[in-house]
Structure 1
Amino acid sequence: MPTRILLNCDMGESFGSWRMGLDEQVMPLVDMANIACGFHASDPVTMTKTVMLAKHAGTRIGAHPSYPDLVGFGRRSMQCHPQEVVSMIQYQVGALAGIAKAHGKTLEYVKPHGALYNDMMKNHDILRAVLEGVCEYDESLPLMLMATANNTAAQSVADEFDARLLFEAFADRAYDNHGYLVPRSVEGSVYHEEARIIEQSLRLAQEGVVVTLDGAEIPLQADTLCVHGDNAESVKAVQSIRSALDSYYASL
Protein backbone atom coordinates (compact mmCIF):
# COMPACT_ATOMS: atom_id res chain seq x y z
CA MET A 1 0.00 0.00 0.00
CA PRO A 2 1.44 3.44 -0.90
CA THR A 3 2.28 5.88 1.87
CA ARG A 4 -0.68 8.18 2.45
CA ILE A 5 0.02 11.68 1.21
CA LEU A 6 -0.92 14.30 3.81
CA LEU A 7 -2.58 17.66 3.24
CA ASN A 8 -0.91 20.76 4.67
CA CYS A 9 -2.13 24.36 4.71
CA ASP A 10 -0.65 27.71 5.74
CA MET A 11 -2.70 29.08 8.64
CA GLY A 12 -2.76 31.65 11.41
CA GLU A 13 -1.87 34.41 8.95
CA SER A 14 -4.15 37.07 10.38
CA PHE A 15 -2.59 40.01 12.22
CA GLY A 16 -4.38 42.14 14.79
CA SER A 17 -7.73 43.19 13.33
CA TRP A 18 -6.68 42.18 9.80
CA ARG A 19 -8.09 38.79 8.78
CA MET A 20 -6.54 36.31 6.38
CA GLY A 21 -7.83 32.85 5.52
CA LEU A 22 -10.77 30.70 6.55
CA ASP A 23 -8.92 28.65 9.15
CA GLU A 24 -12.00 27.46 11.02
CA GLN A 25 -13.36 25.83 7.87
CA VAL A 26 -10.09 24.42 6.58
CA MET A 27 -8.54 23.05 9.79
CA PRO A 28 -10.74 19.92 10.01
CA LEU A 29 -9.96 19.07 6.37
CA VAL A 30 -6.16 19.00 6.56
CA ASP A 31 -3.58 16.87 8.34
CA MET A 32 -0.96 19.56 8.98
CA ALA A 33 -1.27 23.26 9.84
CA ASN A 34 1.70 25.50 9.04
CA ILE A 35 1.26 28.28 11.60
CA ALA A 36 2.73 31.74 11.01
CA CYS A 37 5.06 32.86 13.79
CA GLY A 38 4.83 36.65 13.72
CA PHE A 39 7.43 37.70 11.16
CA HIS A 40 5.31 37.71 7.99
CA ALA A 41 1.91 37.50 9.70
CA SER A 42 0.22 36.53 12.97
CA ASP A 43 0.62 37.68 16.55
CA PRO A 44 0.55 35.88 19.93
CA VAL A 45 -3.25 35.83 20.17
CA THR A 46 -3.66 34.60 16.58
CA MET A 47 -1.03 31.92 17.17
CA THR A 48 -2.87 30.78 20.29
CA LYS A 49 -6.24 30.67 18.53
CA THR A 50 -4.76 28.69 15.64
CA VAL A 51 -3.09 26.18 17.97
CA MET A 52 -6.42 25.70 19.72
CA LEU A 53 -8.21 25.15 16.41
CA ALA A 54 -5.61 22.50 15.52
CA LYS A 55 -5.96 20.85 18.92
CA HIS A 56 -9.74 20.63 18.56
CA ALA A 57 -9.45 19.20 15.02
CA GLY A 58 -6.60 16.80 15.84
CA THR A 59 -4.38 18.46 13.23
CA ARG A 60 -0.59 18.33 13.45
CA ILE A 61 1.09 21.71 13.82
CA GLY A 62 4.29 23.04 12.30
CA ALA A 63 6.10 26.36 12.54
CA HIS A 64 5.92 28.60 9.46
CA PRO A 65 8.82 31.05 9.95
CA SER A 66 9.85 33.74 7.47
CA TYR A 67 12.03 36.74 6.90
CA PRO A 68 11.02 39.70 9.14
CA ASP A 69 8.72 41.25 6.54
CA LEU A 70 5.22 42.05 7.80
CA VAL A 71 4.68 44.74 5.17
CA GLY A 72 5.58 42.41 2.30
CA PHE A 73 3.95 39.31 3.82
CA GLY A 74 7.32 37.60 3.78
CA ARG A 75 7.41 37.49 0.00
CA ARG A 76 10.50 39.67 -0.45
CA SER A 77 14.01 38.24 -0.31
CA MET A 78 16.31 39.80 2.28
CA GLN A 79 20.09 39.83 2.45
CA CYS A 80 20.68 38.07 5.74
CA HIS A 81 23.87 36.68 7.24
CA PRO A 82 23.57 32.92 7.87
CA GLN A 83 23.63 33.50 11.63
CA GLU A 84 20.69 35.88 11.26
CA VAL A 85 18.78 33.13 9.49
CA VAL A 86 19.67 30.64 12.23
CA SER A 87 18.53 33.02 14.95
CA MET A 88 15.30 34.12 13.25
CA ILE A 89 14.34 30.46 12.72
CA GLN A 90 14.97 29.62 16.38
CA TYR A 91 13.15 32.74 17.61
CA GLN A 92 10.00 31.94 15.63
CA VAL A 93 10.01 28.19 16.20
CA GLY A 94 10.54 28.73 19.91
CA ALA A 95 7.65 31.18 20.13
CA LEU A 96 5.17 28.80 18.53
CA ALA A 97 6.50 25.80 20.44
CA GLY A 98 5.99 27.66 23.71
CA ILE A 99 2.37 28.50 22.89
CA ALA A 100 1.76 24.95 21.71
CA LYS A 101 3.19 23.48 24.90
CA ALA A 102 1.00 25.74 27.02
CA HIS A 103 -2.05 24.23 25.31
CA GLY A 104 -1.03 20.60 25.25
CA LYS A 105 0.23 20.46 21.65
CA THR A 106 3.65 19.52 20.33
CA LEU A 107 5.39 21.12 17.38
CA GLU A 108 6.00 18.42 14.76
CA TYR A 109 7.88 20.08 11.86
CA VAL A 110 9.08 23.37 10.35
CA LYS A 111 8.10 24.80 6.97
CA PRO A 112 9.64 28.17 6.00
CA HIS A 113 7.39 30.70 4.32
CA GLY A 114 7.51 32.73 1.12
CA ALA A 115 10.82 34.18 0.04
CA LEU A 116 12.77 32.28 2.71
CA TYR A 117 11.28 29.02 1.40
CA ASN A 118 12.16 29.91 -2.19
CA ASP A 119 15.64 31.16 -1.28
CA MET A 120 16.59 28.00 0.59
CA MET A 121 15.56 25.95 -2.46
CA LYS A 122 17.90 27.97 -4.68
CA ASN A 123 20.80 28.56 -2.28
CA HIS A 124 22.33 25.73 -0.26
CA ASP A 125 24.01 28.18 2.13
CA ILE A 126 20.57 29.45 3.14
CA LEU A 127 19.26 25.88 3.35
CA ARG A 128 22.17 25.00 5.64
CA ALA A 129 21.38 28.00 7.86
CA VAL A 130 17.72 26.96 8.06
CA LEU A 131 18.69 23.40 8.89
CA GLU A 132 21.18 24.57 11.50
CA GLY A 133 18.49 26.71 13.11
CA VAL A 134 16.02 23.85 13.20
CA CYS A 135 18.45 21.14 14.29
CA GLU A 136 20.09 23.21 17.03
CA TYR A 137 16.63 23.90 18.41
CA ASP A 138 15.33 20.32 18.12
CA GLU A 139 17.09 17.77 15.94
CA SER A 140 13.94 15.64 15.82
CA LEU A 141 11.94 18.26 13.89
CA PRO A 142 11.70 17.55 10.14
CA LEU A 143 12.07 20.39 7.66
CA MET A 144 9.41 20.68 4.96
CA LEU A 145 10.58 21.84 1.56
CA MET A 146 9.64 21.60 -2.08
CA ALA A 147 9.67 18.27 -3.87
CA THR A 148 11.41 18.47 -7.24
CA ALA A 149 12.09 15.99 -10.01
CA ASN A 150 15.31 15.18 -8.13
CA ASN A 151 15.16 15.40 -4.34
CA THR A 152 18.71 14.16 -3.81
CA ALA A 153 20.40 17.58 -3.83
CA ALA A 154 18.38 18.84 -0.86
CA GLN A 155 18.68 15.48 0.87
CA SER A 156 22.47 15.57 0.59
CA VAL A 157 22.53 18.91 2.44
CA ALA A 158 20.13 17.57 5.08
CA ASP A 159 22.39 14.56 5.56
CA GLU A 160 25.12 16.92 6.77
CA PHE A 161 22.88 17.60 9.77
CA ASP A 162 21.31 14.13 10.04
CA ALA A 163 18.04 15.97 9.46
CA ARG A 164 14.81 14.50 8.16
CA LEU A 165 13.03 16.17 5.28
CA LEU A 166 9.37 16.25 4.31
CA PHE A 167 8.88 16.90 0.61
CA GLU A 168 5.79 18.78 -0.48
CA ALA A 169 4.01 19.26 -3.78
CA PHE A 170 1.29 21.76 -4.70
CA ALA A 171 -2.24 20.89 -5.72
CA ASP A 172 -3.03 24.11 -7.57
CA ARG A 173 0.28 25.17 -9.11
CA ALA A 174 1.72 24.44 -12.53
CA TYR A 175 5.15 22.81 -12.78
CA ASP A 176 7.88 23.24 -15.37
CA ASN A 177 9.80 20.38 -16.97
CA HIS A 178 12.50 20.54 -14.29
CA GLY A 179 10.01 19.93 -11.50
CA TYR A 180 9.89 23.51 -10.22
CA LEU A 181 6.86 25.74 -9.85
CA VAL A 182 6.08 27.98 -12.79
CA PRO A 183 6.39 31.63 -11.63
CA ARG A 184 3.08 33.28 -10.78
CA SER A 185 3.83 35.93 -13.40
CA VAL A 186 3.36 33.31 -16.13
CA GLU A 187 -0.15 32.77 -17.46
CA GLY A 188 -1.56 29.44 -16.33
CA SER A 189 0.80 29.10 -13.37
CA VAL A 190 -2.06 28.83 -10.87
CA TYR A 191 -4.88 26.35 -11.44
CA HIS A 192 -8.42 27.43 -10.61
CA GLU A 193 -10.42 24.60 -12.18
CA GLU A 194 -11.46 22.15 -9.49
CA ALA A 195 -11.24 19.13 -11.80
CA ARG A 196 -7.63 19.92 -12.72
CA ILE A 197 -6.63 20.45 -9.08
CA ILE A 198 -8.18 17.13 -8.06
CA GLU A 199 -6.56 15.34 -11.00
CA GLN A 200 -3.12 16.67 -10.06
CA SER A 201 -3.66 15.71 -6.41
CA LEU A 202 -4.70 12.16 -7.29
CA ARG A 203 -1.86 11.58 -9.74
CA LEU A 204 0.66 12.73 -7.16
CA ALA A 205 -0.86 10.38 -4.59
CA GLN A 206 -1.37 7.41 -6.90
CA GLU A 207 1.57 7.57 -9.27
CA GLY A 208 4.05 10.10 -7.90
CA VAL A 209 3.97 12.06 -11.16
CA VAL A 210 2.85 15.50 -12.25
CA VAL A 211 1.94 16.83 -15.70
CA THR A 212 3.89 19.99 -16.48
CA LEU A 213 2.55 23.13 -18.08
CA ASP A 214 4.03 21.86 -21.37
CA GLY A 215 2.22 18.53 -21.06
CA ALA A 216 5.20 16.38 -20.05
CA GLU A 217 4.98 13.82 -17.24
CA ILE A 218 7.74 13.96 -14.63
CA PRO A 219 8.26 12.05 -11.38
CA LEU A 220 7.55 14.00 -8.19
CA GLN A 221 7.79 12.09 -4.94
CA ALA A 222 6.04 14.00 -2.18
CA ASP A 223 5.10 13.28 1.43
CA THR A 224 2.55 16.06 1.64
CA LEU A 225 0.36 18.18 -0.59
CA CYS A 226 0.00 21.91 0.01
CA VAL A 227 -3.53 23.30 -0.30
CA HIS A 228 -4.90 26.79 0.25
CA GLY A 229 -7.93 28.01 2.15
CA ASP A 230 -8.05 31.78 1.82
CA ASN A 231 -11.45 32.06 0.12
CA ALA A 232 -14.69 30.11 -0.29
CA GLU A 233 -13.61 28.72 -3.67
CA SER A 234 -10.35 27.35 -2.27
CA VAL A 235 -12.13 25.81 0.73
CA LYS A 236 -14.44 23.98 -1.65
CA ALA A 237 -11.39 22.72 -3.54
CA VAL A 238 -9.82 21.43 -0.31
CA GLN A 239 -13.07 19.62 0.53
CA SER A 240 -13.01 17.97 -2.90
CA ILE A 241 -9.33 17.01 -2.60
CA ARG A 242 -9.95 15.52 0.85
CA SER A 243 -12.91 13.53 -0.42
CA ALA A 244 -11.06 12.29 -3.51
CA LEU A 245 -7.99 11.20 -1.53
CA ASP A 246 -10.06 9.52 1.18
CA SER A 247 -12.01 7.58 -1.46
CA TYR A 248 -8.79 6.51 -3.15
CA TYR A 249 -7.12 5.27 0.04
CA ALA A 250 -10.33 3.54 1.19
CA SER A 251 -10.36 1.58 -2.07
CA LEU A 252 -6.90 0.10 -1.56
Structure 2
Amino acid sequence: MTIRVIIVDDQAMVRAGFAALLAAQPDIDVVGDAADGLQGIELSRRTRPDVVLMDVRMPGTDGLEAARQILAEAEAEAGAEVEPVADAEAGPGACHRPKVLMLTTFDVDDYVYEALRAGASGFLLKDAPPADLISAVRVVAGGEALLAPSVTRRLIEEFARQRPAPRRTPVPRPPELTPRETEVLGLIARGLSNQEIAGTLFLAEQTVKTHIGRVLAKLQLRDRAQAVIFAYESGLVTPGER
Protein backbone atom coordinates (compact mmCIF):
# COMPACT_ATOMS: atom_id res chain seq x y z
CA MET A 1 0.00 0.00 0.00
CA THR A 2 1.26 3.48 -0.84
CA ILE A 3 2.11 5.68 2.15
CA ARG A 4 0.63 9.18 1.82
CA VAL A 5 2.88 11.85 3.34
CA ILE A 6 2.67 15.59 3.93
CA ILE A 7 5.62 17.77 4.96
CA VAL A 8 5.17 20.76 7.29
CA ASP A 9 8.24 22.97 7.66
CA ASP A 10 8.85 26.71 7.42
CA GLN A 11 11.99 26.23 5.31
CA ALA A 12 11.19 25.81 1.62
CA MET A 13 14.48 24.04 0.87
CA VAL A 14 13.83 21.47 3.59
CA ARG A 15 10.37 20.76 2.24
CA ALA A 16 11.66 20.46 -1.32
CA GLY A 17 14.54 18.21 -0.36
CA PHE A 18 12.44 15.86 1.75
CA ALA A 19 9.71 15.76 -0.90
CA ALA A 20 12.15 14.85 -3.68
CA LEU A 21 13.73 12.12 -1.57
CA LEU A 22 10.46 10.55 -0.47
CA ALA A 23 8.67 10.88 -3.82
CA ALA A 24 11.42 8.81 -5.41
CA GLN A 25 10.36 5.80 -3.33
CA PRO A 26 7.87 3.47 -5.02
CA ASP A 27 5.78 3.03 -1.86
CA ILE A 28 5.62 6.70 -0.77
CA ASP A 29 3.47 9.47 -2.23
CA VAL A 30 4.06 13.07 -1.10
CA VAL A 31 0.59 14.59 -1.34
CA GLY A 32 1.38 18.12 -0.16
CA ASP A 33 3.51 20.46 1.90
CA ALA A 34 2.87 23.44 4.16
CA ALA A 35 4.96 26.31 5.52
CA ASP A 36 3.50 26.50 9.04
CA GLY A 37 1.40 24.61 11.53
CA LEU A 38 -1.93 26.18 10.64
CA GLN A 39 -1.45 25.37 6.96
CA GLY A 40 -0.38 21.87 8.01
CA ILE A 41 -3.62 21.31 9.92
CA GLU A 42 -5.70 22.37 6.92
CA LEU A 43 -3.58 20.28 4.56
CA SER A 44 -3.99 17.23 6.77
CA ARG A 45 -7.77 17.66 6.77
CA ARG A 46 -7.81 17.95 2.99
CA THR A 47 -5.35 15.25 1.96
CA ARG A 48 -5.79 12.76 4.84
CA PRO A 49 -2.18 11.54 4.94
CA ASP A 50 -0.82 8.43 6.60
CA VAL A 51 2.25 10.27 7.91
CA VAL A 52 2.80 13.93 8.77
CA LEU A 53 6.42 15.12 8.86
CA MET A 54 6.15 18.05 11.25
CA ASP A 55 8.84 20.58 12.11
CA VAL A 56 8.81 21.33 15.83
CA ARG A 57 9.69 25.02 15.69
CA MET A 58 7.82 27.27 13.27
CA PRO A 59 6.50 30.84 13.46
CA GLY A 60 2.81 31.21 14.20
CA THR A 61 1.25 27.86 14.99
CA ASP A 62 4.21 25.68 15.90
CA GLY A 63 4.58 21.97 15.26
CA LEU A 64 3.55 20.98 18.77
CA GLU A 65 0.18 22.74 18.61
CA ALA A 66 -0.39 21.54 15.05
CA ALA A 67 0.36 17.94 16.07
CA ARG A 68 -2.07 18.22 18.98
CA GLN A 69 -4.85 19.45 16.73
CA ILE A 70 -4.25 16.92 13.97
CA LEU A 71 -4.17 14.00 16.39
CA ALA A 72 -7.11 15.26 18.45
CA GLU A 73 -9.23 15.53 15.31
CA ALA A 74 -8.15 12.03 14.29
CA GLU A 75 -9.18 10.63 17.69
CA ALA A 76 -12.52 12.44 17.53
CA GLU A 77 -13.20 11.07 14.05
CA ALA A 78 -12.20 7.56 15.04
CA GLY A 79 -14.51 7.70 18.03
CA ALA A 80 -17.49 9.05 16.13
CA GLU A 81 -20.11 6.43 15.35
CA VAL A 82 -20.63 7.58 11.80
CA GLU A 83 -19.63 6.21 8.45
CA PRO A 84 -16.35 7.87 7.35
CA VAL A 85 -16.77 10.22 4.41
CA ALA A 86 -14.65 9.52 1.36
CA ASP A 87 -12.28 12.34 0.46
CA ALA A 88 -11.84 13.33 -3.18
CA GLU A 89 -8.09 13.64 -2.84
CA ALA A 90 -7.59 10.70 -0.51
CA GLY A 91 -9.98 8.30 -2.20
CA PRO A 92 -12.55 6.18 -0.36
CA GLY A 93 -10.99 5.98 3.03
CA ALA A 94 -11.27 4.81 6.52
CA CYS A 95 -11.01 7.23 9.42
CA HIS A 96 -8.25 9.79 9.10
CA ARG A 97 -5.67 8.56 11.62
CA PRO A 98 -2.29 9.96 10.60
CA LYS A 99 0.98 9.33 12.38
CA VAL A 100 2.99 12.41 13.26
CA LEU A 101 6.76 12.31 13.02
CA MET A 102 8.37 15.38 14.53
CA LEU A 103 11.40 16.92 12.84
CA THR A 104 13.94 18.72 15.00
CA THR A 105 17.37 20.32 14.67
CA PHE A 106 18.31 19.35 18.21
CA ASP A 107 19.05 15.99 19.77
CA VAL A 108 16.45 16.51 22.49
CA ASP A 109 14.37 19.54 21.68
CA ASP A 110 12.53 21.30 24.51
CA TYR A 111 9.26 20.40 22.80
CA VAL A 112 9.93 16.73 22.10
CA TYR A 113 8.57 15.43 25.40
CA GLU A 114 5.35 17.41 24.99
CA ALA A 115 5.06 16.25 21.39
CA LEU A 116 5.21 12.63 22.47
CA ARG A 117 2.65 13.31 25.18
CA ALA A 118 0.40 14.79 22.52
CA GLY A 119 0.59 11.52 20.60
CA ALA A 120 3.41 11.98 18.12
CA SER A 121 4.95 8.68 17.09
CA GLY A 122 8.54 9.85 17.49
CA PHE A 123 11.04 12.33 16.23
CA LEU A 124 13.85 12.53 13.73
CA LEU A 125 16.82 14.86 13.41
CA LYS A 126 16.72 16.99 10.26
CA ASP A 127 20.33 16.10 9.47
CA ALA A 128 19.70 12.36 9.69
CA PRO A 129 20.92 10.32 6.69
CA PRO A 130 18.39 10.08 3.83
CA ALA A 131 17.94 6.36 4.42
CA ASP A 132 16.89 7.09 8.01
CA LEU A 133 14.16 9.47 6.85
CA ILE A 134 12.78 6.93 4.41
CA SER A 135 12.89 4.20 7.03
CA ALA A 136 11.27 6.48 9.62
CA VAL A 137 8.28 7.15 7.39
CA ARG A 138 7.78 3.44 6.80
CA VAL A 139 8.20 2.59 10.49
CA VAL A 140 5.60 5.05 11.77
CA ALA A 141 3.22 4.29 8.90
CA GLY A 142 3.36 0.67 10.04
CA GLY A 143 2.18 1.66 13.51
CA GLU A 144 5.51 1.52 15.32
CA ALA A 145 7.12 4.28 17.36
CA LEU A 146 10.30 5.86 16.11
CA LEU A 147 11.94 5.97 19.50
CA ALA A 148 15.21 4.09 19.52
CA PRO A 149 16.57 3.02 22.92
CA SER A 150 19.31 5.66 22.74
CA VAL A 151 16.66 8.32 22.10
CA THR A 152 14.61 6.94 24.99
CA ARG A 153 17.56 7.38 27.31
CA ARG A 154 18.03 11.00 26.25
CA LEU A 155 14.32 11.61 26.69
CA ILE A 156 14.55 10.21 30.22
CA GLU A 157 17.46 12.52 31.00
CA GLU A 158 15.41 15.48 29.82
CA PHE A 159 12.47 14.33 31.92
CA ALA A 160 14.74 14.04 34.95
CA ARG A 161 16.09 17.54 34.36
CA GLN A 162 12.61 19.01 34.21
CA ARG A 163 11.22 17.04 37.16
CA PRO A 164 14.15 16.19 39.44
CA ALA A 165 12.22 15.56 42.65
CA PRO A 166 12.31 11.81 43.43
CA ARG A 167 9.14 9.98 44.31
CA ARG A 168 9.32 8.62 47.82
CA THR A 169 6.21 6.43 47.94
CA PRO A 170 6.42 3.15 46.01
CA VAL A 171 3.80 2.93 43.31
CA PRO A 172 1.89 -0.34 42.87
CA ARG A 173 1.81 -1.89 39.44
CA PRO A 174 -1.07 -0.87 37.18
CA PRO A 175 -3.92 -3.27 37.98
CA GLU A 176 -4.40 -4.06 34.29
CA LEU A 177 -0.91 -5.54 33.98
CA THR A 178 0.58 -8.81 35.16
CA PRO A 179 3.81 -8.66 37.19
CA ARG A 180 5.79 -9.69 34.09
CA GLU A 181 4.13 -7.05 31.93
CA THR A 182 4.89 -4.43 34.56
CA GLU A 183 8.50 -5.55 34.56
CA VAL A 184 8.68 -5.24 30.78
CA LEU A 185 7.12 -1.76 30.90
CA GLY A 186 9.73 -0.64 33.41
CA LEU A 187 12.56 -1.87 31.19
CA ILE A 188 11.08 -0.11 28.14
CA ALA A 189 11.02 3.10 30.16
CA ARG A 190 14.68 2.69 31.07
CA GLY A 191 15.57 2.62 27.39
CA LEU A 192 16.22 -1.08 26.82
CA SER A 193 15.68 -2.56 23.37
CA ASN A 194 13.61 -5.72 22.88
CA GLN A 195 16.81 -7.72 22.63
CA GLU A 196 18.15 -6.22 25.86
CA ILE A 197 14.86 -6.88 27.65
CA ALA A 198 14.94 -10.48 26.45
CA GLY A 199 18.47 -10.90 27.81
CA THR A 200 17.61 -9.27 31.13
CA LEU A 201 14.51 -11.39 31.72
CA PHE A 202 15.83 -14.57 30.06
CA LEU A 203 12.99 -14.58 27.54
CA ALA A 204 12.76 -15.09 23.81
CA GLU A 205 12.63 -11.81 21.89
CA GLN A 206 9.29 -12.79 20.35
CA THR A 207 7.90 -13.29 23.87
CA VAL A 208 9.04 -9.78 24.76
CA LYS A 209 7.24 -8.42 21.69
CA THR A 210 4.09 -10.22 22.80
CA HIS A 211 4.33 -8.71 26.29
CA ILE A 212 4.84 -5.23 24.84
CA GLY A 213 1.80 -5.62 22.60
CA ARG A 214 -0.31 -6.62 25.61
CA VAL A 215 0.98 -3.69 27.67
CA LEU A 216 0.05 -1.22 24.92
CA ALA A 217 -3.37 -2.80 24.44
CA LYS A 218 -4.25 -2.96 28.14
CA LEU A 219 -3.13 0.60 28.88
CA GLN A 220 -4.62 1.91 25.62
CA LEU A 221 -1.31 3.40 24.52
CA ARG A 222 -0.46 4.11 20.90
CA ASP A 223 3.12 2.96 20.94
CA ARG A 224 6.42 2.54 22.79
CA ALA A 225 6.86 6.30 23.11
CA GLN A 226 3.67 6.68 25.08
CA ALA A 227 4.58 3.65 27.19
CA VAL A 228 7.73 5.45 28.34
CA ILE A 229 5.75 8.54 29.26
CA PHE A 230 3.10 6.50 31.09
CA ALA A 231 5.76 4.74 33.17
CA TYR A 232 7.33 8.02 34.29
CA GLU A 233 4.16 10.02 34.82
CA SER A 234 2.55 7.21 36.82
CA GLY A 235 5.61 7.01 39.05
CA LEU A 236 6.27 3.39 38.09
CA VAL A 237 9.79 4.45 37.14
CA THR A 238 11.68 7.33 38.74
CA PRO A 239 14.07 9.54 36.74
CA GLY A 240 17.64 8.60 37.54
CA GLU A 241 16.64 5.10 38.63
CA ARG A 242 18.63 2.23 37.14
TM over 0.5: no
More helix by share: 2
Higher relative contact order (CA 8 A, sep 6+): 1
Structure with the greater alpha carbon radius of gyration: 2
